[in-house]
Amino acid sequence: MTQEGAGPELKKPVVVLAFVSIGLVYSTMLVGVFLSSGPITENGIVCTEWPLCPNGFGPPEDRYLMEYVHRLIAAITAAVVYATAVIVPSRARLAKKVALIAAGLVSLQMLLGLLTVLTILEPLVVASHLSTGISLFAFGLLTFWWAGVWKMR
Ligand code: HEM
């Protein structure tokens, strides 16, 4: 199956941005799993406030560091996933569709991240956070794939 293109000049930035998106989702997941396995935090959550930890913008304390890193990369990831959904031309129909689904999933993921913190690791919320993260990665990959095979004119 092929898709119509919107001009060769757009293809490269779209493919690059789609690739950066999946790289960022992957990195956020990596830090998330590190966080939940708790080498520093011991129980996966020490910062029960949102959006900042109790020390606010003060110098990062070791115990909050990974949580800050996870939230910071998540925010950058969300911005890049949204940008990808915007930049994919509508004429690359399948790429646009999956990029928009990825944008919806990243919004849901941010909300679930917030609930993970506020409910202090309610199991259903944690399970949803993990499975939505995996779905987000899958749709990011599909966006990269469809943007890559989209035919230029
Ligand atoms: C693109 C956005 C995000 C992705 C892809 C993502 C992904 C993940 C993944 C894969 C885990 C590991 C889950 C597990 O091992 O059970 C995790 C853990 C976690 N995430 Fe996120 N996350 C995102 C955003 C956020 C945000 C915005 C917050 C909070 C403000 C957050 C809070 C947490 C917390 C507290 C944990 C630890 C949960 C535990 O200890 O089981 N996440 N995240």
Mean pLDDT, residues 18-42 taken together: 87
Segment 84-112, tens digit of pLDDT: 999 999 999 999 999 999 999 999 999 99
The winner for highest mean pLDDT among 38-42, 44-48, 63-67, 86-90 is 86-90
Domain assignment present for 101:
yes
Residue 2 lies in a domain: no
Distance in angstroms (rounded) separating the CA atoms of residues 21 and 137 = 9
The domain of 29 spans 8-149
How many helices (DSSP H) and strands (DSSP E) are in the chain? 4, 0
Residues near ligand 1 (Cβ within 6 A) = 25, 28-29, 32-33, 35-36, 44-45, 50, 70-71, 74, 77-78, 106, 109-110, 113-114, 116-117, 121, 126, 129-130, 133, 136
Whether residue 1 is predicted with pLDDT greater than 70 in this model: the reply is: no
- The best mutation among 21, 24, 31, 36 to test binding of ligand 1, ranked by most ligand atoms within 8 Å of the C-beta, falls on 36
- Rounded Cα gap, residues 85 and 152, in angstroms: 18
- Residue 42, pLDDT > 90, answer no
User: Has residue 3 been placed in a domain?
Assistant: no
Contacts of 68 (CB under 8 A, 6+ apart): 47, 53, 60
Q: Residue 60's pLDDT is what?
A: 67
Q: Who contacts 138 (Cβ-Cβ below 8 Å, separation ≥6)? A: none
Amino acid at 93: R
Nearest residue to 19 (alpha-carbon basis) of 71, 87, 84: 84
Q: Is the pLDDT score of 35 beyond 80?
A: yes
49 Cβ contact partners less than 8 Å away, ≥ 6 residues apart: 117
The predicted-structure confidence for 104-152, as pLDDT tens digits, reads as follows 999 999 999 999 999 999 999 999 999 999 999 999 999 999 998 876 5
pLDDT recorded at residue 9: 64
> Is residue 109 one of the residues assigned to a domain?
yes
Instruction: Quickly state the pLDDT bin for 81 (edges 50, 70, 90).
Output: very high
Judge residue 138's burial from the number of C-beta atoms within 10 Å of its C-beta, 0-12 exposed, 13-18 middle, 19 or more buried: middle
Q: pLDDT per residue over 43-58, tens digit each?
A: 557 888 888 888 888 7
Q: How many angstroms does the Cα of residue 130 sit away from the middle of ligand 1?
A: 7
- Total structural domains within the chain: 1
The pLDDT of residue 6 is above 70: no
For residue 81, being part of any structural domain is answered with yes
